[in-house]
Structure 1
């Protein structure tokens, strides 16, 4: 029996979207908890310990980052198996080489580069996000609008628009 038309809010593959969202949130919680646990004081935890006892050891930090990477790898494979595209905003926060969560200042370094002659062309700025784990780099154009999909682009070429070549008629 078919579903009645007009129902709002029906999302196909809702359980898979929920699973992907949960995996991303869990990975970001693990990656962020490496910062938060070190900043908590002993009074916040309700434990009477020396001041340095609440900080994470390097082994614990590496273990949490490894668990975070595993969750992000699982998230990617889940989306690939279900043929669901991840949003660009989500993909910008994950290293495409080692699947670690990119947190500015902790797991990655961001620099704006301009490869034009002496940086004279302001439209040539590129944001380079370099992962500290694998040294991989992701590049994003700064200030440039996203190119339209091919089916929405004009079928004429820039040379035809200038009037140098007349478009073929058939």
Structure 2
């Protein structure tokens, strides 16, 4: 019997664990939307929605651990490790840039709910090459002195 021919080229659109990744994405988006819901008429409702948001994040962590799916570091940085709150700058987290001996600068994220502080090294500012100054003769400076030709700032020669 002849063997079946296998397609040697892998399908680009096939993602392993696609259903699990979609579930994690849904839980993250739902917790983000519940975290942003504010009701000025009832402060109790805000407390309920934030607790629902935290429960979605904790279930997202459990699903990620059981299925051995690695979450993106940018998603991990938006979740508080102490209380599973979604960290939104200005509302649920305060961000400070502190100096560090080993990294230069460190971003300190402090959760407003549980006061947990997380320090993440800040990427260094990109420094481009220093612009070189033009040579003296191109800067309209005095090139010769002592009875020889001199150049004025407007570019005229003095004899």
Larger-Rg structure: 2
Corresponding residue for residue 126 of structure 1: 106
Q: Secondary structure at the match of 1:103?
A: coil
Shift of 1:4: 3.2
The corresponding residue for 1:112 is: 97
Question: Unaligned stretches of 5+ in structure 2?
Answer: 126-159
Q: How does 1:6-17 map to 2 (within 5 A)?
A: 6=9, 7-17=11-21
4+ long deviations beyond 6 Å:
none
Instruction: State which of 65, 70, 73 in structure 1 corresponds to 2:55.
Output: 70
Question: Which runs of no fewer than 5 residues in structure 1 stay unpaired?
Answer: 39-54, 146-170
Q: What is the distance in 2 between the residues matched to 1:30 and 1:23?
A: 10
User: Is 1:139 aligned with 2:119?
Assistant: yes
Alignment correspondent of 1:5: 8
Aligned pair in 2 of structure 1 residues 12, 114: CA closer, same or farther (>3 Å)?
A: same
Q: Report the Cα distance in structure 2 between the residues aligned to 1:131 and 1:2, rounded to whole angstroms.
A: 56
Q: State the superposition RMSD in angstroms.
A: 2.2
Listed one character per residue, the Cα deviations across residues 114-155 of structure 1 (whole Å, up to 9, x for unaligned) are 155xxxx9x52110000011110111111259xxxxxxxxxx
Residue 17 to residue 2, structure 1, CA distance change in 2 (3 Å)? farther
User: Corresponding residue for 2:34?
Assistant: 30
Answer 1 or 2: which has greater helix percent.
1
In structure 2, C-alpha distance between the alignment counterparts of 1:80 and 1:30, rounded to whole Å: 23
**Structure 1 counterpart SS, 2:8:** coil
* Structure 1 position 83 matched with structure 2 position 42: no
TM, length-normalised to structure 2: 0.69
